[in-house]
């Protein structure tokens, strides 16, 4: 088989699954809205169950729901009849996944769930199946054909089920008004969590700030820029920032030639520098610094007094960029 033939096989799989999703989108309607409302009205958890490949998809759906503000757990249908039904409460809602809708294990679980009074949602390739008929809501995840050339291995069908699960999770997220900050609280150990939680004051330098006073010269500024993180900040008697000098300012001054040392910093400094404020997300400050090519930035408090200095290296070490 040639490379081009191998690539074409891969493209055909993608094409077939894309077509399946396009059909799925066209079919989405009132039953989907009913499913979302059923979960919204529940005070319990979402129980997700499936067997085989559907079970693997179910685990991912449960994880996505939980991470977006809808508590969910995966329940294996076989384990459920060996004690795991103890996790089920009458206020829960169950999402049951099966391509055929005729899985014996899943139908047995459905009977037990109904006995508990649990409301149920089917995600099945056949809404007319036993599962589809006996659940409170049935979502049609049927596909014309699998991407497998023998129309056997679950491919298009598992993709459709996964996308329906994602659609439920995101619709619920929007209905609940779930925000980026809520997501961050549920993902404190991840990079996204750090970006959405860490504030600039948690990272900035607070002690021995590189400050100059009106009347200081470039002699003091050069020493400070070289030894204090590449920035010198000119402040007044109340620590209000009047200007900033950076290594870039120093380089441009050197290019002009002459004796630098006696030059007053006021004649060289940037009088309208970019500033950060206490309470800002560190990731937002990092974005502005990168956008403007700035290595260090003064941080002001609520009274516009200098509170600290944040450096791009500090933000990188904190892994907010």
- Is residue 63 in some structural domain? yes
Structural domain contains residue 183: no
- pLDDT at position 315: 83
Q: What is the mean pLDDT of residues 114-122?
A: 94
Q: Taking a C-beta distance cutoff of 8 angstroms, is the pair 37, 138 a contact? A: no
Do 297 and 212 belong together in one domain?
Answer: yes
**pLDDT tens, position by position, 81-114:** 666 788 898 899 999 999 999 999 999 999 999 9
Strands 231-235 and 241-246: antiparallel
97 shares a domain with 208:
no
* Residue 189 located in a structural domain: no
Given this model, what pLDDT does residue 317 score? 81
* Claim to verify: residue 229 and residue 296 sit in the same structural domain: yes
Ranges of H-type helices in 72-197: 77-80, 104-116, 130-134, 156-176, 180-186, 191-197
* Alpha carbon distance 206, 202 (integer Å): 10
Confidence of residue 223 (pLDDT cuts 50, 70, 90): confident
Cβ atoms within 10 A of the Cβ of 96, count? 30
Residues of the domain holding 150? 3-178
CATH number at residue 294: 3.10.580.10
Number of domains in the chain: 2
Please give the backbone phi and psi of residue 294, each rounded to the nearest 5 degrees, phi first: -105, 135
Q: Which CATH number fits the domain that encloses residue 49? A: 3.40.50.10490
Per the CB < 8 A criterion, the answer to whether 309 and 299 are in contact is yes
- 169 with 250, same domain: the answer is no
Are 142 and 269 within one domain?
no
Query: For residue 113, is it within any domain?
Result: yes
Give domain status of residue 188, yes or no.
no
Tell me which residue of 94, 89, 102 sits closest to 62, measured CA to CA.
Answer: 94
The encoded tokens of residue 212 equal 């100059």
> Each residue of 122-148: pLDDT tens digit?
999 999 999 999 999 999 999 988 988
Q: For 270-310, how does the pLDDT look when each residue is reduced to its tens digit (9 = 90+)?
A: 899 999 999 988 888 888 888 888 888 999 999 999 999 99
Residue for token pair 């249908």: 77
In this structure, are 210 and 141 located in the same domain?
Answer: no
3-state secondary structure of 179: coil
């Amino acid at each position: 088989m040639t490379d081009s033939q191998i690539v074409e096989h891969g493209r055909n799989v993608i094409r077939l699954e894309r077509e399946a999703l396009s059909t799925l989108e066209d079919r989405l309607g009132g039953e989907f809205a009913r499913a979302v409302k059923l979960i919204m009205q529940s005070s319990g958890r979402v129980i997700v169950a499936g067997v085989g490949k559907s079970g693997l998809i179910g685990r991912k759906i449960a994880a996505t729901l939980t991470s977006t503000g809808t508590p969910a757990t995966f329940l294996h249908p076989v384990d459920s009849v060996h004690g795991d039904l103890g996790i089920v409460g009458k206020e829960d809602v169950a999402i049951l996944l099966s391509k055929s809708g005729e899985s014996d294990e899943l139908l047995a679980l459905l009977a037990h769930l109904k006995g508990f009074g649990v409301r149920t949602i089917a995600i099945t390739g056949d809404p007319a199946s036993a599962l589809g008929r006996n659940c409170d809501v049935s979502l049609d995840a049927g596909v014309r054909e699998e991407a497998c050339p023998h129309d056997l291995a679950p491919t298009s069908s598992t993709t459709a089920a996964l996308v329906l699960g994602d659609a439920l999770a995101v619709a619920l997220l929007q209905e609940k008004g779930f925000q980026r900050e809520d997501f961050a609280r549920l993902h404190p150990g991840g990079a996204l969590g750090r970006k959405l939680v860490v504030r600039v004051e948690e990272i900035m330098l607070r002690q021995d700030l590189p400050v100059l006073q009106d009347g200081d010269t470039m002699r003091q500024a050069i020493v400070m820029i070289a030894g204090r993180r590449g920035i010198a900040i000119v402040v007044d008697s109340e620590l209000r920032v009047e200007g900033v000098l950076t290594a870039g300012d120093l380089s441009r001054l050197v290019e002009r030639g002459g004796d630098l040392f006696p030059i007053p910093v006021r004649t060289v400094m940037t009088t309208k520098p970019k500033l950060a404020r206490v309470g800002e997300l560190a990731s937002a400050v990092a974005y502005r610094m990168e956008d403007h090519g700035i290595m260090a930035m003064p941080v002001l408090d609520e009274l516009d007094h200098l509170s600290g200095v944040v450096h791009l290296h500090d933000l990188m070490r904190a892994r907010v960029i």
